[in-house]
Amino acid sequence: MKKDIFTQQTSSTDCRARRGQVTTRHGTFQTPVFMPVGTQASVKAVTPENLVELGAEIILGNTYHLFLRPGHALIETLGGLHSFMHWERPILTDSGGFQIFSLQELATITEEGAAFRSHLDGSRLFLSPESAVAVQEALGADIMMVLDTCIPYPADHEEAARATALTGRWAKRCRQAQQPTGQLLFGIIQGGIYPDLRREAVSELVDIGFDGYAIGGLSVGEPKELMLAMLEETVPHLPADQPVYLMGVGTPEDLVEGVYRGVDMFDCVMPTRNARNGMLFTSQGRIVIKNARYREDQRPLDESCTCYTCRNYSRAYLRHLFQSHEILAYQLNSIHNLHYYCALMAQMRTAIETDRFSQFRKEFYENRLP
């Protein structure tokens, strides 16, 4: 069932950073890539046209949220998620596992699947590995994720081993349940912070065989060094000819460090959520736009940025909009932060193409103001 979806174009001589592309039913995207998060069939506060202009080539949808509202059956009836939300490029959907565990105090995990309550109306719901795939097939995702269990941090070795093993069994059921629709399915490597469990998970998932591999269960509260160490324990053991996706990560620094360690795909709510909270990313560091120092500041957020927001609006105006709770503040801030993330990935891709990634990484940190 494995498809040749990943083409590696160049690699780096002094690190694992690599340049490639992934091909899906809705076209090809360039890697390393950042995927803006469109939880409820909308990347918050931006239009699909904004996304195309700021350089997004693939977005992520959240199965858990769409399963609850408006429901995957309705979206399928209406022609699938792409048509529903007016987005023609690739979409990756998660499996719902992470949301079930993070939004629920009382999710019940059995061998069969996950029983949980809707956070919207309290109704009882159930997601099995098979139904998680069926829901994603109905949504029309280009890349689907297996249903996995989430290992909290900290968790002892026994608990982590048990959850990792269950994720492995669920992964196999997901692969078996998949219909021949041309949609891709990625496995998820769990294992917590235990290198032996991570390697066992890799071995088990690769034996099943997926179109790509995600690294899950990181950025859940563990120290940053531990996250990077787990990447180093995992990525080198994954098949070199398939895409590697680090789920739910992260800061701009995390993206640079992830690419350095061989990751091809990232997603995170940080650029959009921080935008709505008035925290903006620039090449020199972070800006908290409500700060009084920006009251009369005529400069754009980032003098080196080419986004719609920086081309047309001053920090003073953005501060005014944010202080006035204007919806346009969320729009302009989200466009800027997403552009920052996508442009950062584009810069990394260019650096890898000329085998300058380690130099890029060095300059990235040097540019940051103290």
Catalytic positions are 94, 267
Residue 35 bridge partners (DSSP): 267
- Among positions 61-80, residues that touch a second copy (CB under 8 A) are 69-70, 74, 77-79
In the three-class reduction of DSSP (H, G, I as helix; E, B as strand; rest coil), residue 203 is classed as helix
What residues from 195 to 214 belong to the interface with a second copy (CB under 8 A)?
Answer: none
Which tokens belong to 334?
Answer: 């989200």
- What residues are paired with 203 via a beta bridge? none
Q: How far is the CB of 269 from a second copy (least distance, A)?
A: 14
Query: What interhelical angle do 357-366 and 327-353 show, nearest 10?
Result: 140
Long-range CB contacts for residues 327-330, cutoff 8 Å, separation at least 24: 327/45, 329/278, 330/44, 330/45, 330/275, 330/276
* Smallest separation, CB 79 to a second copy (Å): 8
Residue 369 is a binding residue for a second copy (CB under 8 A): no
**Angle, vertex CA 58, rays to CA 52 and CA 62, nearest 5:** 120
- Number of chain residues interacting with a second copy (CB under 8 A): 35
The two structure tokens encoding residue 348: 């990394």
- Closer to a second copy by CB, 74 or 240: give it: 74
| By the rule CB under 8 A, 298 interacts with a second copy | yes
Interface residue with a second copy, options 35, 85, 100, 230 (CB under 8 A):
85
Q: Is 41 an interacting residue with respect to a second copy (CB under 8 A)?
A: yes
- Strand duo 37-38 + 59-61: pairing: parallel
Output 293 or 368, the one with its CB closest to a second copy: 293
**88 is a site residue for a second copy (CB under 8 A):** no
Among 296, 303, 353, 363, binds a second copy (CB under 8 A): 296
Could you give the residue ranges of the DSSP H alpha helices within 140-238? 157-177, 195-208, 224-234
The single residue listed with the structure tokens 């795909």 is 265
Among 42, 104, 251, 358, binds a second copy (CB under 8 A): 42
Q: Which is nearer to a second copy, 323 or 367 (CB)?
A: 323
The closest alpha carbon to 329, from 66, 44, 107, 72, belongs to 44
Q: Sketch the per residue contact string, 302 through 341, with a second copy: x for CB under 8 A, - otherwise.
A: ----------xxx-xx-xxx-xx-xxx-xx----------
Provide the pairing of β-strand 265-267 with 33-35: parallel
- In angstroms, the first-to-last Cα distance of the chain is 50
Would you say 41 or 147 has its CB closer to a second copy?
A: 41
The answer to whether residue 293 forms part of the interface with a second copy (CB under 8 A) is: no
Q: Do residues 136 and 95 lie in contact, with contact meaning Cβ atoms separated by under 8 Å?
A: yes
- Nearer to a second copy among residue 13 and residue 298 (C-beta): 298
- What is the rounded CA–CA span in Å between residue 155 and residue 256? 27
Binding site for a second copy (CB under 8 A): 40-42, 44-48, 69-70, 74, 77-79, 84-86, 295-296, 298, 312-314, 316-317, 319-321, 323-324, 326-328, 330-331
